[in-house]
């Protein structure tokens, strides 16, 4: 299928408007842990629509919106009520309410089918491809009806978020405080549900239920992984939703042609693209991403392992000081001594060689001058901590080693100096071993030389 | 405060009636449609007597097969659902069933590509299982490894996977072999398309999950109520959790064909939630959920046979919802009616106790009278002055007390009987003991204790009264009422406690 701006342009506009309108509200659904209530309301507006059709015998908008609002509020009300009366959790009461209402709506729509041009399939997954066909003229422009309706709803939601930003923020994070400050978080809750229902209805006939549900939840969840600030989250979710909608339509037109088919359902592809964006954020978000977290952990453990290696070699040298020769160790020896995997040790050794802390000799690895200095700092931290834990924190001598082993990696020069001062400048640790000085041949010089 | 609670209650009972209305409302529509039939009419006709007979007496082989399959499915999902409900995983089934759609479409495409029979149910259900489990995996990953909560994970899984399914179906419809209409049955459910082999598959899967639930009943029960305790007793909690999940998957996947993937979760949730209104015992909830699920399935499938054009999944769900509404109203443990009766009963008892104590305190306030004098009478107006109750309510309360022999009413002059006097003294004593306790031990100001004591005196157990006596070193005498901390005069303004 070829791309034509006349048709595809309007489809993309409708999709973007729907996506942005939904994701604006979705931020608060996700934050208030009501994502599934958003899903439930958008399923449950179906009987409201059907009743509106029965009463007005037309697809005119006003009764439809009224029906949706009523049913949206009823869904929230029923859910709350059944949760209390039936002594079940919110998920279960939601499951009872929305499935019942949706089933009811399906049956009523099937019955209404001969009055109105409407079927369940079109409600469920929409006919966004047909939006450009149904146009009305406004200010001399031929604009699709769906675009007008969705645009109105998007503006409504935007106004809601902007005008009530403070109230929404407070009642999302601390409902009790919001209520005590004089604006009812219950009222906000139902207002939100009303708008969710309105958005669902506006999107129903054009883009379908499933896209609304996806856009309520997926872009805000993605934005939630990317930032900690509410205002940024809202803006980001809007952008993500728009990107998802645009790329969704492009993908729907292009991807199937790779396999020799024609374009597929746009609404479905928009949901999939939003899901892909979420996956990317899930894996690579700067703070929260799974891959990022994994890499960060690997790097940290590598750093700690290389610290352990130089400290181990330093201690060996100390013990063998009488012999006079610097002692070396092989990779497998290090692995078994430090309880680490062979592979990790080799990686750490590579890093240390590149930093010129180790050099290779025939019998394994030896510390260089830089390595010697690094190791001395670590061992000094370790032993100062042991001394501190015993003399100041009154720890048992047997239990100090593990603590000091953890703390030594995160102790810098100023902290060492403080420890040194706090423990009255000891020369030996509780086990009786000598605490090395900061610089090799300059005992007692530390504290004065600032660099 | 109480006013607000009352408003809430009223709103809730209104919500209840609305719910009932919503459940019943398709009926008149169905009836209204029946009167005006014409040829070439797509609307639903009211079935003829012949159709009724055929369905009710199970004359068609096909109807028998379908009813059997759906009933067994209802039993199994009710049973499994009662565990997932208590485990607070009710909506996981929703994510699972929604995310089975891309699997169904992909299985259809792959099977067609490999030249197999793409419509064969086992292949489609295999695909459904794979992506369904993927969807559940997404929920678990989001819950475990991000700061998003479970609800967001559920929403993401079900919407994205369902969207992917729609996109795949859009392609399937263009395939030359693609009579993709069969796949639509998985979305809304179509019991009519079920044949004997399908019913057998459903029955086998359901029996496996029923047997699994019965065999592991004790373990699942412990898992649902106290996971940590189950772990400390040496049970393999993770394995049990996976087995329960496996049963949910089994039931959900085979149920897709009957109920449809959007509404499958209803079969897992609604019967189990209905069972909670009747009992608190786990085995009873499970048994009831199984029975209700079975009945709901039969009713739904039968009505779907009577009205072939209506989506069968929706009919089954509505049948279950009707059973739920009945349970909610008439449930013997926490049904709406039972609660209402209980509340009425409590209110009546409280009013009776208020009347007796009021009489006693009025008698007591007249110090000239001897202690045990039950002969003197009190006028209605005197009683009206001491509490904020309407004349009508007071008269009704007096009438009831008269019938139970506590009070004698001779033309507006109320007297306590012998039994009434003893009871009134006991009540007043309880009230004052509690007031004293609040003053001496809870350090509540004397002007406020009357209100607090008023709230609790009706539920004081005899053992607690004994304890109060011991604590306050009051002589546990027959009928010795400690002096009121407000002074004995019961003039309303005196106590300042808002009587």
Which value does ipTM take for this structure?
0.85
Measure CB to CB from residue B170 to each of A91, A107, A265 and give the nearest one. A265
- B489: pLDDT strictly greater than 70: no
Say which residue the tokens 């408007």 belong to. A17
Cross-chain residue pair A85–B336, CB shorter than 8 Å: yes
Residue from B37, B155, B272 to probe the interface with A (highest A Cβ count within 10 Å): B155
Phi first, then psi, for residue A135 (nearest 5°) are -115, 150
Mean pLDDT on B128-152: 90
Digitized pLDDT (tens) for each residue of chain A, 451 residues in all: 456 777 788 888 888 999 999 999 999 999 988 888 888 888 888 888 888 877 776 666 677 778 878 888 888 888 888 888 877 888 889 989 999 998 888 888 877 665 555 566 666 666 777 777 777 766 667 778 788 888 989 999 999 999 989 888 888 888 888 888 887 888 888 888 888 888 888 887 667 777 788 989 999 999 999 998 999 999 999 999 999 999 998 998 888 888 777 778 888 889 999 999 999 999 998 888 899 999 999 999 999 998 888 888 888 887 776 565 657 788 888 888 888 888 888 888 888 888 888 888 877 888 888 888 888 889 988 888 888 888 888 888 888 888 888 888 888 888 888 888 888 888 888 887 888 887 765 443 343 333 3
Residues A132, A10 contacting (CB under 8 angstroms)? yes
Which residue has better confidence, B381 or A295?
Answer: A295
pLDDT tens per residue across span B32-72: 444 343 333 444 566 677 777 776 666 677 788 888 888 99
CB of A104 within 8 Å of a chain B CB? The answer is yes
How much is the pLDDT for B102? 92
CB of A196 within 8 Å of a chain B CB? The answer is no
Q: Which of A161-175, B14-28, B168-182 is predicted with the least confidence, judged by mean pLDDT?
A: B14-28
Residues 6 or more apart whose CB falls under 8 angstroms from that of A175 comprise A185
Reduced to 3 states (helix: H, G, I; strand: E, B; else coil), residue A86 is helix
Residues of A in contact with B304 (CB under 8 A): none
CB of A78 within 8 Å of a chain B CB? The answer is yes
Residues A344, A305 contacting (CB under 8 angstroms)? yes
Measure CB to CB from residue A272 to each of B44, B152, B167 and give the nearest one. B167
Mean pLDDT on B358-381: 69
- B7: pLDDT strictly greater than 70: no
Share of chain B above pLDDT 90, in %: 21
Q: How many whole angstroms separate alpha carbon B159 and alpha carbon B276?
A: 30
Cross-chain residue pair A252–B167, CB shorter than 8 Å: yes
> In Å, what is the CA distance from A38 to each residue of A78, A161, A207, A214?
14, 16, 17, 10
Q: How many whole angstroms separate alpha carbon B159 and alpha carbon B157?
A: 6
How much is the pLDDT for B324? 94
Residues 6 or more apart whose CB falls under 8 angstroms from that of B484 comprise B361, B432, B435, B490
In degrees, rounded to 5, the angle at the alpha carbon of residue B432 between the alpha carbons of residues B428 and B438 is: 150
Mutual angle of helices A369-391 and A290-319, in 10-degree steps: 90
Phi first, then psi, for residue A23 (nearest 5°) are -70, -25
Residues 6 or more apart whose CB falls under 8 angstroms from that of A248 comprise A15, A266, A267, A269, A270, A271, A272, A273, A274
- What is the b/e burial string over B117-136, where b = at least 16 CB atoms within 10 angstroms of the residue's CB? ebeebebbbebbbbbbbbbb
Residues of B in contact with A211 (CB under 8 A): 163
- Centre a 10 Å sphere on the Cβ of residue A70 and count the other Cβ atoms it contains: 18
Residues B209, B76 contacting (CB under 8 angstroms)? yes
> In Å, what is the CA distance from B160 to each residue of A263, A356, B96?
19, 51, 12
Which two tokens mark A372?
């010697």
Cross-chain residue pair B163–A272, CB shorter than 8 Å: yes
Measure CB to CB from residue B269 to each of A95, A106, A256 and give the nearest one. A95
Residues of A in contact with B268 (CB under 8 A): 95
Cross-chain residue pair B12–A120, CB shorter than 8 Å: no
CB of B125 within 8 Å of a chain A CB? The answer is no
Residues of B in contact with A104 (CB under 8 A): 22-23, 25-26, 314, 318
Q: How many whole angstroms separate alpha carbon A203 and alpha carbon A266?
A: 14
CB of A54 within 8 Å of a chain B CB? The answer is yes
Burial of B397 (0-12, 13-18, 19+ CB in 10 A): buried
Cross-strand partners of A364:
A361
Q: Beta strands B407-410 and B413-416: pairing type?
A: antiparallel
Confidence band for B31, pLDDT divided at 50, 70 and 90: very low
Q: If you average pLDDT over every residue of chain B, what do you get?
A: 79
pLDDT tens per residue across span B404-424: 888 888 777 888 888 888 888
CB of A88 within 8 Å of a chain B CB? The answer is yes
- Centre a 10 Å sphere on the Cβ of residue A377 and count the other Cβ atoms it contains: 22
Residues B47, B306 contacting (CB under 8 angstroms)? yes
How much is the pLDDT for B3? 45
Confidence band for B2, pLDDT divided at 50, 70 and 90: very low
- What is the b/e burial string over B360-379, where b = at least 16 CB atoms within 10 angstroms of the residue's CB? bbbbbbeeeeeeeebeebbe
Phi-psi region of B287 (alpha: psi -120 to 50; beta: other; left: phi over 0): alpha
Reduced to 3 states (helix: H, G, I; strand: E, B; else coil), residue A133 is helix
Count Cα atoms within 13 angstroms, Cβ side, for B448.
6
Which residue has better confidence, B1 or B322?
Answer: B322
How much is the pLDDT for A405? 85
- Quick one: how far is CA B175 from the chain centroid? 47
Residues A100, B318 contacting (CB under 8 angstroms)? yes
Measure CB to CB from residue B152 to each of A35, A99, A103 and give the nearest one. A35
In degrees, rounded to 5, the angle at the alpha carbon of residue B452 between the alpha carbons of residues B446 and B458 is: 130
CB of A379 within 8 Å of a chain B CB? The answer is no
In chain A, which residue's Cα lies nearest the Cα of B275? A86
- B111: pLDDT strictly greater than 70: yes
Q: How many whole angstroms separate alpha carbon B273 and alpha carbon B328?
A: 9
Q: Which of A57-66, A354-363, B277-286, B297-306 is predicted with the least confidence, judged by mean pLDDT?
A: A57-66
Measure CB to CB from residue A265 to each of B23, B26, B166 and give the nearest one. B166
- B319: pLDDT strictly greater than 90: yes
**pTM for the structure as a whole:** 0.81
- B1: pLDDT strictly greater than 70: no
**Of B132, B112, B134, nearest to B123 (Cα)?**
B112
How much is the pLDDT for B487? 56
């Amino acid at each position: 299928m070829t791309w034509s701006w006349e048709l595809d342009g309007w489809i993309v506009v409708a999709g973007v408007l729907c996506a942005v309108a939904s994701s604006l509200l979705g931020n608060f659904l996700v934050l208030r842990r009501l994502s599934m209530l958003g899903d439930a309301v958008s399923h449950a507006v179906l009987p409201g629509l059907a009743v509106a059709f029965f009463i007005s015998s037309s697809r005119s908008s006003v009764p439809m919106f009224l029906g949706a609002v009523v049913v949206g509020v009823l869904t929230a009300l029923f859910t709350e009520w059944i949760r209390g009366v039936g002594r079940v959790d919110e998920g279960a009461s939601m499951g009872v309410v929305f499935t019942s209402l949706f089933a009811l709506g399906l049956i009523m729509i099937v019955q209404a089918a001969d009055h109105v041009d409407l079927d369940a399939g079109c409600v469920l997954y929409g006919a966004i491809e047909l939006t450009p066909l149904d146009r009305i003229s406004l200010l001399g422009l031929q604009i699709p009806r769906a675009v007008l309706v969705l645009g109105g709803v998007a503006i409504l939601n935007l106004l809601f978020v902007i005008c009530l930003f403070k109230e929404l923020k407070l009642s999302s994070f601390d409902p009790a405080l919001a209520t005590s400050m004089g604006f009812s978080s219950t009222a906000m809750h139902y207002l939100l549900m009303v708008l969710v229902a309105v958005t669902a209805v506006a999107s129903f006939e054009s883009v379908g239920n499933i896209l609304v549900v996806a856009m309520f939840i997926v872009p805000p969840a993605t934005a939630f992984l990317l930032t900690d600030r509410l205002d940024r989250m809202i803006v980001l979710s809007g952008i993500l939703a728009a990107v998802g909608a645009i790329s969704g339509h492009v993908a729907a037109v292009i991807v199937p042609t790779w396999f020799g088919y024609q374009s597929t359902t746009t609404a479905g592809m928009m949901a999939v693209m939003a899901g892909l964006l979420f996956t990317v954020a899930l894996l690579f978000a700067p703070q929260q991403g799974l891959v990022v977290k994994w890499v960060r952990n690997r790097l940290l453990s590598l750093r700690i392992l290389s610290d352990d290696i130089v400290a181990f070699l330093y201690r060996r040298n100390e013990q063998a000081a009488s012999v006079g020769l610097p002692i070396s160790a092989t990779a497998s020896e290090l692995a078994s001594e430090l309880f680490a995997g062979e592979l990790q040790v080799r990686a750490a050794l590579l890093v240390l060689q590149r930093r010129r802390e180790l050099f290779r000799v025939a019998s394994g690895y030896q510390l260089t001058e830089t390595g010697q200095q690094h190791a001395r700092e670590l061992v000094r931290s370790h032993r100062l901590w042991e001394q501190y834990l015993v003399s100041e924190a009154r720890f048992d001598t047997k239990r100090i080693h593990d603590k000091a082993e953890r703390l030594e990696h995160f102790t810098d020069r100023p902290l060492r100096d403080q420890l040194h001062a706090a423990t009255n400048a000891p020369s030996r640790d509780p086990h009786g071993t000598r605490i090395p000085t900061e610089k090799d041949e300059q005992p007692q010089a530390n504290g004065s030389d600032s660099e | 405060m109480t006013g607000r609670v009352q408003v809430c209650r009223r709103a809730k009972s209104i919500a209840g009636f609305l719910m009932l209305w919503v459940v019943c409302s398709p009926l008149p529509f169905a009836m209204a449609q029946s009167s005006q039939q014409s040829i070439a009419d797509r609307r639903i006709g009211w079935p003829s007597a012949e159709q009724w007979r055929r369905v009710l007496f199970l004359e068609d082989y096909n109807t028998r097969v379908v009813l059997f399959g759906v009933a067994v499915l209802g039993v199994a999902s009710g049973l499994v659902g009662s565990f997932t409900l208590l485990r607070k995983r009710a909506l996981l089934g929703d994510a699972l069933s929604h995310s089975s759609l891309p699997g169904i479409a992909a299985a259809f495409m792959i099977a067609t590509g490999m030249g197999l029979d793409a419509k064969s149910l086992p292949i489609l259900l295999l695909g459904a299982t794979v992506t369904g489990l993927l969807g559940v995996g997404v929920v678990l990953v989001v819950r475990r490894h991000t700061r998003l909560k479970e609800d967001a994970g559920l929403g993401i899984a079900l919407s994205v996977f369902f969207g992917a399914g729609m996109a795949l179906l859009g392609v399937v419809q263009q395939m030359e072999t693609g009579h993709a209409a069969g796949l639509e049955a998985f979305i809304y459910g179509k019991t009519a398309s079920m044949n004997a082999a399908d019913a057998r598959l459903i029955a086998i899967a359901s029996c496996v999950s029923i047997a699994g639930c019965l065999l592991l009943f004790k373990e699942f029960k412990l898992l649902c109520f106290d996971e940590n305790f189950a772990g400390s007793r040496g049970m393999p909690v993770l394995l049990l959790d996976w087995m329960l999940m496996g049963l949910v998957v089994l039931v959900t996947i085979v149920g897709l064909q009957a109920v449809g993937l959007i509404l499958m979760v209803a079969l897992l949730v609604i019967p189990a939630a209905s069972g909670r209104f009747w009992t608190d015992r786990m085995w009873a909830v499970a048994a009831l959920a199984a029975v209700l699920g079975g009945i709901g399935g039969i009713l739904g499938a039968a009505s779907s046979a009577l009205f072939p054009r209506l989506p069968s999944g929706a009919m089954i769900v509505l049948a279950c919802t009707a059973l739920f509404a009945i349970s909610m109203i008439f449930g013997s443990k926490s049904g709406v009616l039972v609660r209402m009766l209980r509340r009425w009963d409590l209110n009546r008892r409280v009013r009776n106790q208020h009347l007796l104590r009021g009489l006693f305190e009025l008698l007591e306030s007249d110090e000239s009278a001897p202690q045990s004098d039950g002969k003197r009478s009190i006028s209605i107006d005197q009683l009206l002055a001491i509490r904020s109750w309407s004349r009508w309510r007071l008269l009704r309360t007096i009438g009831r007390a008269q019938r139970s022999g506590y009070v004698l009413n001779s033309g507006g002059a109320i007297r306590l009987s012998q039994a009434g006097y003893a009871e009134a003294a006991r009540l007043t004593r309880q009230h004052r003991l509690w007031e004293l306790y609040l003053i001496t031990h809870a350090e509540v100001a004397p002007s406020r204790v009357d209100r607090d004591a008023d709230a609790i005196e009706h539920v004081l157990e005899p053992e607690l009264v004994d304890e109060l006596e011991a604590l306050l070193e009051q002589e546990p005498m027959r009928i010795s009422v400690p002096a009121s901390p407000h002074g004995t005069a019961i003039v309303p303004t005196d106590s300042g406690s808002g009587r």
